[in-house]
Structure 1
Amino acid sequence: MEVYKHKCILIVIAVSVITFCVLLTAFFVFHNRSVETTSKRLNLVIDQDGGADDAMAIFMALLYEKYFYGPKVIALTTVHGNVDEPQVYINTQIILDVARRRDVPIYRGSKSALVEGAKSDYYFGYDGLGDNRTVEFSSIAARHTQAALALIELSKKYEGELLILSIGSLTNIALAIKLDCEFMSRLSQLYVAAGNIYSEKYSKPEFNAEMDVEAYHIVAGDGNAKKLTIVPFSQIRNDIQISNEWRLNVLGSIPTEIMQAQNVFEQVSIPKSKTWVLLDPAAMAVVLNQSVIVVETRYSDNSIHLCGENRGINTNIMRSIENSNSKLVYSVKENTYKQFLLDLFLAELKCECTDARTQYNSIQLILTRVPRAYQSLAHDTLRYWVPINGFYLRLVYQLLHREEVVSKISIMLFACLFMCFIVFSAQNESNERLKLVIDNDAGGDDAMAIFLALLNEEKFNGPQLVGLTTGNGNTNEDNVYINNQRILKVANRQDVPIFRGSKSSLVITPYAGAYYGEDGLGNSPIPDGLVPAKDQDAVTALIELSKKHNENLVVITIGTLTNVALAIKLDPGFLGRISHLYVGAGHIESEKNPDAEFNAHMDVEAYHIVAQYASPDKVTVFPFSQVKEHLNISKSWRIDVLGGIQTDIIKAQNMYESVVLAKEQDWAALDPAVVAVVVNPDLVSEYKYSKNDILLCGEKRGINTNIFVEKEDANVRMVYSVKLEEYKQFLLNVFAPSE
């Protein structure tokens, strides 16, 4: 009898799945046909920092979607701000639970500013939601994709149809821009609720802008007036002065779960001011109903001060649309805004939603039976399934109540996962050879470094080169990419994947010059038969390789640190997973080396980020000052001895360095020296430990700071001196013709 029941259940499930697929296919066919004759509904992502003001803005968007056919809220992304990011994530779950919209995906984002952030004032309480310690909610699992990467993916999926509203710090948006230079162009519009129009009345930095000044600078720098709309807090405060009495006794009296929760969320903030003026809900009103709310917009060349006493203060030069990077919301209507709020939050009372409420309760009952890890997927499925056939909903609910079925499925899943773990472990055990990634800017010095790594791997069974990542530096990134292709072709190693990286520095991109020629490789001809790069970008490739080769991957940077800094900001666990990071950059400042070193200077903020996250067990810096001090080799040796080796690689290398060798008296190349000490640590005669960083502002911007200390007080290990004769012999051994 029991077997017969199981067979019946399986048959019912099979029929259900087939029916569901048929209905779903039909739905999409007819839906797509109807879309052609109707206007497309825009999609909305809210990038937020989980305060009570964010809560109201999110509630507004969800209500407008439901009752006024507004933009579809397709995601919430979290970012540090009102509270730290883990608390923002908790608050986001609470907000969606209150709104009964657990179907909205959550993507977790940046836990800190790109470079240096401000401290929160905890205006809405230490938890951001009114310090309500008794709040209960059902947890919602976040999606695995990091927020900035999710923003990029969504901009591609909904190209031209995606609105993004940022109502927190701009860290996630800035990361998306730096990871994908086409990101902004794919959006329908980016709305930024941040900043002030500076005046005597508004002479201090605005909170959201100040929380990540560099991120604001990046977003403004990439903006154009047709894509970027800024809602400055100064203008909201000028035009909206709503009394606390209206907020509490009119808006706050609406007897819905959402408004009563919102009242609790604001119980700390409302008594702090005589009037009720919040930026985030005002900005959301602009997004949802701009034509009614906004009185005047202006076009501006908008930016922000990065340094000094004015750090965090916005600059605005009002210009024509053609010469501006942003549109500013300059004035709004208070009475219209108030009426808009009332219409939104009263909408629930005016609509009979019994069926929807019943549907929601059914979904929640089922989700209680689903393992937490699969709740998000299950919720998405049920959201579309339930309206089609309630019978299947009841069937699945009954099935999931059978404890023995759930237990057997769980055991089977665990067994499969365990077998996968065993296979994966066996593969790792048989593949312990150290892996290398070289992050480079493909000048002539990078070429020699890459050749050295490849030949050492081939001749001496050295670490395996598993990737090259490109970045702006010696030449523009487009040239760097081509140069990587050329180097691999000469080495006959076009199996090594290339991942294209940053085309500019994080914040300020200095002029690089043409030290190795206009193309970076001595203005040499480009051969045919080059192999294209992988589709994956450099930053996500670095992160994935760090996971794939956990504790067995060495990353070597011999250009700017932009890609590595972005990897760290996207995934703070990145450095912890790799075996080691070697940085070829910087100087130990002295009278001989008073200026900024090229690689460090090309992205000062990126160097600072890496230094902030560094530890001496994970990061070794090889300053160029020490190469010049200990590895300053005569030009004649380079040309006649090393350059006299008759191989295709050395012949190509001579060509790549021809511009430099013609103008320098000696030969001191940082990049091959860095790779040499990685693959042959015996070349190092002395290490030191240092508190290492870089100056971000003023005339000494780009100058490194070093305080030599004991290891436990340091953040980096430093290559201080190298054995000259051993290094020269090592080069000869590596580049000698194969027998």
Structure 2
Amino acid sequence: MRKVILDVDTGVDDALAIAYATASPEVELLGVTTTYGMAPAECSARNTLLVLEQLKCDVPVFRGAEQPLIRTRQYSGTFHGTDGLGNVVRSEPKRAASGMHAVDFIIEQVRKHGRDLTLVTTAPLTNLALAIQKAPDIVGRIGRVVTMGGAVATPGNVTKFAEANIIIDPHAAQKVFSSELPITLVGLDVTRKTVLRQEEVERWREKNTPCSTFFADFTKYYIQAYKVNHPYLKGCALHDPLAVGIAVHPELVNMVPMYIEVDLEEDALGRTTEDLRRKSPGGPNTNVCMEVDAERFVSRFLSRIDQAFSR
């Protein structure tokens, strides 16, 4: 069983990733840390608590960064709604987030569990960048960082170069990738190949439980946005759940070691690319996922989600 922290900005696919993690017997979910991203920071924390409540999981939640390190980029709400969950939230969670800051929780858990800990990030990398800044020793202690973000050999989804999690806080991302952390990058190169179809979401609705209906409602919004913006996919990409899947089953993907940097120049801001101009010839800093067994992953994801809804 892998000890895991999820670092999220709970929009729709983060919520699906949380459900997948809680239903995976290979995962011991120590906590969920939140930040701004697909919604404001307060919505991200609230959404995370609501999702865990529906899933009947009493996992602690820790609020983190409320803005990027240097510049602010506002999310449009196109794919996740202005509240992060398809504008379907009608209530407040029954419990509150922990009083401990997300950054402090990450540092504490890395020092406690060391190589046994996997951090899965499905949000802008601000919390992790701040943790490195505050406690540089964690870089050499953590077992693995699995990051959903970036687009190495495929177009971005915010600009022609950049993926959303990276461009929202590119300076944090560059700090993380230049830190020598053991990073696996789960980018658009593979996540666009893992697709959730509308008919599967309708099966959730047919279960007619509060949890399955809640998930079906906000995921429907996400799929409708994909129909308008990416009709060729015939569904919505499972970006964040795939990061959880690879944290547990790395054999799902083929990886290429690369020395990744994040472009901070305005004309290509947020681009994740191999740094061929680095002064040091040091080895790769990232394992980049380039191919995925999409059918196998989606099948496993749907099975675990069914288990989550059956609690």
With normalisation by structure 1, the TM-score equals 0.38
Any conservation in 2 of the 1:507–1:605 contact (CA below 8 Å)? yes
Q: Does 1:451 align with 2:19?
A: yes
Question: Larger C-alpha radius of gyration, 1 or 2?
Answer: 1
Name the structure where helix makes up a greater proportion of residues: 1
Task: Identify the match of residue 505 of structure 1 among 68, 93, 96.
Answer: 68
Give how far 1:434 is off. Answer: 2.3
Separation in structure 2 between the aligned mates of residue 537 and residue 500 of structure 1, nearest angstrom:
6
Match of 1:551 in 2: 115
Q: Does 1:516 align with 2:85?
A: no
- Measured on the aligned residues, the alpha-carbon RMSD in Å equals 2.2
Give how far 1:522 is off. Answer: 1.2
Paired AA for residue 249 in structure 2: N
Higher RCO structure (Cα 8 Å, ≥6 apart): 2
After superposition, where does 1:417-432 map in structure 2 within 5 Å? none
Task: Identify the match of residue 690 of structure 1 among 258, 266, 272.
Answer: 258
**For residues 531 and 550 of structure 1, do their structure 2 counterparts lie closer, same or farther at Cα, with a shift above 3 Å needed?**
same
Give how far 1:521 is off. Answer: 0.6
Task: Identify the match of residue 726 of structure 1 among 290, 296, 305.
Answer: 296
Separation in structure 2 between the aligned mates of residue 592 and residue 522 of structure 1, nearest angstrom:
22
After superposition, where does 1:283-682 map in structure 2 within 5 Å? 433-456=1-24, 461-493=25-57, 495-514=58-77, 515-527=79-91, 530-590=94-154, 594-615=160-181, 618-628=182-192, 630-631=193-194, 633=195, 635-640=197-202, 648-664=210-226, 665=231, 666=233, 667-682=236-251
Separation in structure 2 between the aligned mates of residue 639 and residue 530 of structure 1, nearest angstrom:
26
Q: The residue matched to 1:581 in structure 2 has which SS?
A: strand
Separation in structure 1 between the aligned mates of residue 252 and residue 205 of structure 2, nearest angstrom:
21
Paired AA for residue 506 in structure 1: L
May I ask how many residue pairs the two structures share in their alignment? Answer: 295
Any conservation in 1 of the 2:123–2:165 contact (CA below 8 Å)? yes
Give how far 1:555 is off. Answer: 0.5
Unmatched segments (≥5 aa) in structure 1 = 1-432
Match of 2:283 in 1: 713
Separation in structure 2 between the aligned mates of residue 592 and residue 601 of structure 1, nearest angstrom:
10
Q: The residue matched to 2:136 in structure 1 has which SS?
A: coil
After superposition, where does 1:191-210 map in structure 2 within 5 Å? none
Q: The residue matched to 2:266 in structure 1 has which SS?
A: coil
Paired AA for residue 727 in structure 1: F
**For residues 691 and 644 of structure 1, do their structure 2 counterparts lie closer, same or farther at Cα, with a shift above 3 Å needed?**
farther
Moved over 6 A (4+): none
Amino-acid identity (%): 26
Q: The residue matched to 2:139 in structure 1 has which SS?
A: helix
Question: Once the two structures are superposed, what CA deviation does each residue of 1:57-82 show, in whole Å capped at 9, x if it has no partner?
Answer: xxxxxxxxxxxxxxxxxxxxxxxxxx
Any conservation in 1 of the 2:2–2:248 contact (CA below 8 Å)? no
Give how far 1:643 is off. Answer: 6.1
Any conservation in 2 of the 1:692–1:704 contact (CA below 8 Å)? yes
Q: Does 1:735 align with 2:305?
A: yes
Q: The residue matched to 1:452 in structure 2 has which SS?
A: helix
Any conservation in 1 of the 2:5–2:30 contact (CA below 8 Å)? yes
Give how far 1:576 is off. Answer: 1.6
Paired AA for residue 8 in structure 2: N
Paired AA for residue 76 in structure 2: G
Q: The residue matched to 1:613 in structure 2 has which SS?
A: coil
Give how far 1:645 is off. Answer: 5.3
Unmatched segments (≥5 aa) in structure 2 = 277-281
Question: Once the two structures are superposed, what CA deviation does each residue of 1:565-607 show, in whole Å capped at 9, x if it has no partner?
Answer: 0101111111221111111011014468733100000000000
With normalisation by structure 2, the TM-score equals 0.88
